[in-house]
Structure 1
Amino acid sequence: MTAVEPAAGIFPLTDEEYFAPALASTTLSSTGAKTLLAPGGPARFRHQLDTGTAVVKREYDLGHAVHTLVLGSGPEPVLFPGTGKNPEAWQKEDDKAAVAKLRAEGKVPLRPTDFAAAWAMASAVRNHPVAAKLFYAGEPEQALIWRDPTTGVMCRAKADWLRPDGIVDLKTAESADAEALSKATYNHGYYIQAAFYLRGFRELRQLAAEPFFVFAAVEKSPPYLVHVHQLTERAMAHGDRKVAEALEIYRDCTASGAWPGYPLDEITDTDLPGWIRTEEW
């Protein structure tokens, strides 16, 4: 059966709707774009799409909780102390079962320290003079679905906070200083995400002025410092080039039905890293 392409537009989709196979199998997201661009990316992308396996990590729980408390939308954070001697440990089988039940209900179970941190982080964002203004006008967790005019690929993005004039993305971080943010931007592909989202915003909103994409980063440890930042023109231009490359890969793989990994018909020569000095070089 041929998958039906979704309609273009801006929709208040839940995570379940946004990540549902029907939408995921017919659209490309920024996460998918980053996967396609990595070595062996098309094969990894196809595997993830076919298996639909979600990874649950404790650090994701904290981030999800902060998003809900700041944006006013998302899975409910629930305080759940362990019933053993250490309330931070979920070691008893009853505790593990209760945590699994909360997750199945779509809630975010948190240990006492994480629950307190989530509220403190959200308060820090809401009390930050710049971040508070950015999160004032707009709507939380809006899904953008559009067709790329160059490749014809249907795309999707879910904006943390969609304003009439741009997008605000909330990040939790170990450190929100300038150097750490620069490294995270590259390591996690935030420059690709920003460029990808703005393509959708431009296509759907058709504003006369250029929209903006701003990150609001809040640290995970006291005093929960907040740093609002945006990427330079150089970073955004590079991100846009990578997005264009990913869209072409997705289009070609979809058309051919081939999702390549590493080379199948050759042996690759592998050298030492360029920074290694040897007697011959």
Structure 2
Amino acid sequence: MTMQSLGDVVGNLVDGIGNERYWRGGKIAEPGVYAGVDIERYHHDPDLFDGFSISSSGLRALLRRPAEYWWSSPYNPSSQEPESKPALDFGKAAHMLLLGEDGFAGQYSLRPATYTDSKGDEKPWNGNATSCKDWLAQQAKAGRTVITETDIAHIRHMADALSRKEAIRLGILNGKIERSIFHKDRDIWLKSRPDVIPISSGDFVDLKTAASVDDETLSRAIFAHGYHVQAGLLRVIVREILGPDAFTSFTFVFVEKAPPYDVRVMQLKDADIDIGERQARQGLKLLRECLRRQEWPGYDGFDQHISYIEMPSWAKTRIDNELNAEAA
């Protein structure tokens, strides 16, 4: 592949984004960059495309085990959403506010600091009080996630820490937000919603919140959460839609969720993106097999034979040492 100059890369990106489509409803049948696709429709609408579709998060769940993906798949008529976790809810809220995405008020509710009891007295919030339970139930019924003033304070500190980082000040997070990129790989739609589509480089940047930003924690998180697969699939989609050299690199902006709100900007090595792309393609192969069989197996895969299991080697060594010591 002939490498293009930075000017050519930027030109292709601008041309591709300039030709973006605005989604106004109906089934998506043409690949490209789309504005106006609601995030809930993006993740949960089985009728958004004229065929089966999957995102990076879905593909990563499928790679862990197909049953995990299918349990919460929009294509499963008996699907159930995974139970919400406070840390995940906070991360999503922070991500939305820090990137300046629209729709926050419709998805989140700020929990009151006080409530009025049956006698008309104002008291500090108590999750066990009937009126507090009723308020929480109303938010759940409306599909809104509850956050607290403490959460908002953390997000303000995170925003302040980000604003002091030189790479942020220089515009690493500048670009088009709330855009979706869709590519049809034979019979399956691949979808991606990058935090930012860059317009001045081919560096795609992803904002992540983290409990800690030390090297070991972040390195493990990339593997544990499949961030390299996310990058690999994004590279496939971007190069198909915006050009073979439109994706040049993938950079993380990690920000801590608690003091000292440290921020780190780190670029994922190309070799890891290569591995992620290989896994993404393997996941697509597995997906097609699941669809063909109409089966979504667990850890045993399609092979249902009875396998062996054993204690970890360190445990056996420890027991052997204890038994040998007793016998001595």
- Output the TM-score relative to the length of structure 1: 0.85
Contact 2:228–2:273 under 8 Å retained in 1:
yes
Match of 2:225 among 179, 185, 188: 188
Match of 2:60 among 34, 39, 46: 34
Give distance in 1, aligned partners of 2:253 and 2:130: 38
Give distance in 1, aligned partners of 2:155 and 2:176: 21
Deviation, structure 1 residue 158 = 1.5
Aligned ranges for residues 43-62 of structure 1 at < 5 Å?
Answer: 43-49=67-73, 50=76, 51-62=79-90
Match of 2:297 among 249, 256, 260: 260
Consecutive unaligned residues of structure 2, counting only runs of 5 or more, are: 1-26, 116-122, 321-328
SS in structure 1 of the partner of residue 146 of structure 2: strand
Is it true that 1:22 corresponds to 2:59 in the alignment? Answer: no
Question: Bigger radius of gyration, 1 or 2?
Answer: 2
Q: Amino acid of the residue matched to residue 260 of structure 2?
A: P
Give distance in 1, aligned partners of 2:237 and 2:83: 27
Aligned ranges for residues 125-140 of structure 1 at < 5 Å?
Answer: 125-132=162-169, 133-136=171-174, 138-140=175-177
The answer for the alignment partner of 1:163 in structure 2 is: 198
The answer for the alignment partner of 2:95 in structure 1 is: 67
SS in structure 2 of the partner of residue 241 of structure 1: helix
- Output the TM-score relative to the length of structure 2: 0.73
Deviation, structure 1 residue 155 = 0.8
Q: Amino acid of the residue matched to residue 31 of structure 1?
A: S
Give distance in 2, aligned partners of 1:34 and 1:183: 16
Identity of aligned residues (%): 30
Consecutive unaligned residues of structure 1, counting only runs of 5 or more, are: none
Give distance in 2, aligned partners of 1:92 and 1:239: 48
Q: Amino acid of the residue matched to residue 309 of structure 2?
A: T
SS in structure 2 of the partner of residue 33 of structure 1: helix
SS in structure 2 of the partner of residue 237 of structure 1: helix
How many pairs were matched up? Answer: 271
Give distance in 2, aligned partners of 1:250 and 1:238: 18
Residues 230-277 of structure 1, C-alpha deviations (whole Å, 9 max, x = no match) = 211232222121111101101222233233333564211122334444
Give distance in 1, aligned partners of 2:86 and 2:272: 30
SS in structure 2 of the partner of residue 27 of structure 1: strand
Deviation, structure 1 residue 217 = 0.8
Match of 1:153 among 165, 188, 200: 188
Aligned ranges for residues 212-251 of structure 1 at < 5 Å?
Answer: 212-251=249-288
Q: Amino acid of the residue matched to residue 183 of structure 2?
A: W
